[in-house]
Every structure is written in C-alpha cells, then in structure tokens.
Amino acid sequence: MKHHASDAHTLAAAYALGALEDGERKEFDAHLRTCEACRHEAAEFEATAARLAAAVAQPPPAAVKPQVMAAIDGVRQLPPRIPTVPSAAALGGMLRRRAVPLALAASVVAAALGGVTVWQAQNGQDLRQEARQAQRQLDAVSTVLAAPDARTVHGRAANGAVTTVVASRRQNQAVFTAGLLPTPGAGKTYQLWLDHKGTMRPAGFIDHDGTVLLTGAPADADAVGLTLEPAGGSPQPTTAP
C-alpha cells in the first residue's frame, strides 16, 4: 500500500492498537525512527489503552472457572467463521480515515470488556443493567466517531493530560478523551465545559483516563474546557479552564 508522506502521521493510533498489516507496520516503524512527534503519540496511545484496561480489571470469582468447565461438555461447537478479507488498498484507506477514532473507541471497549469480571460477581439484574448502560455508552460514542463529518482536535491540559475531542456538527455531539490525567483527589472531580461565546456551560464529568460523550449541544461552541471542581460539580468554573 502506498502512502503520501502526510498520511503516515495519521497511523499512530492504529499502530498502537496493532491494527496495521505487516507491510504497513514496517513502513511505520521506519517512519518512527525519524519522527519524534509520532513516537510520542504512539507511546501515549499504548499507555492509555493499557491503563484503561488495567483500571477496570478484577480477578474473577473462584467459582467461575469450575462452572465454566462443568458446562463445556454440554455446549455444541459451532463451525469456524471465515471472514471476508478486504483488499490492502481498502484497508489502508479505512485506517487513514479512522486511525484516531479507533483509539478512542478502544478506550470505551476496554472499559466495557474489563468490567465483565466485575459483573460476574453481581446478581443477574445488576449485570443486565450494567451491560445496557455500557452498550448505550458505546453506541453513543461510536455514532460520533463514525459520523462522516467527524472532526478531531488534539490538545494538552495545563496539568499534563493529553486530550482529544471528536465532534460532529451533523450529530450535534462531541466526544472527549483524556490520557495521563492526574488523580483528582478526595472530594474533587474533573468537570467538562462548552465555551459558548465566552459563556462556560457544564458538559459532563471525567474522573480518570477514558472517553466520555459531552452533554449539551457543541454545534455552536468555540472550545471545550476542563477544570478541577468539588465533587458533584459547579454551575460555573471555579478556576480557569
């Protein structure tokens, strides 16, 4: 697959997720030797994905393994599913368009899948409720990431957090993701804001590295702000976003 020189810079997220083909990965490895910005970005994506998965993982209950082993004999094995393999050119085009959204979606999936071991320790009703909530969150975020008019902007907060906003004017929604976000501390939380011509309006919360759907309508907002606020949030920022 052939790339323009500028295309290589869009593949850091796909590289970190192991989503590149062998030839593409070799080309990107060569690119990393000469591009400090991409090395830094790929390392941050890898660290964030690993941190998100570890943050929600818990050992499964001791009773899970014997229950699964006991049920195996009664489960009929299905025939293997043979997927259709897209052409290298088609795959490459998709990766160039979706490299950053892939990493953001991965953070949501990591949180959802990591929580499965927690759900196993709860009763059936709690499990179904948590699963529905996780599915709704994943669907909402995926809708924004897959929007044809999705626009991605990167930034770095004053506290060192690496941030990304993906917004869709057509959907009138935006997704915020943060990596390397310091712990807010006891009685504190990170609050998000939408800047509407100088007026800061609450747009939700994020307590740790991850991805959230902003509340409110971002279509006419000029910027997204992040502040450290008392637990429960504030009607207006108490510090400069």
On the 0-12 / 13-18 / 19+ scale of CB atoms within 10 A, 226 is buried
What per-residue confidence (pLDDT) applies to 152?
87
pLDDT digits (tens, 9 = 90+) for 37-59: 888 787 777 766 666 555 555 56
pLDDT digits (tens, 9 = 90+) for 67-112: 777 776 666 666 665 555 554 444 444 444 445 555 555 555 555 4
Structure token pair of residue 167: 């917004």
- Is the separation of the CB atoms in 176 and 215 below 8 Å? no
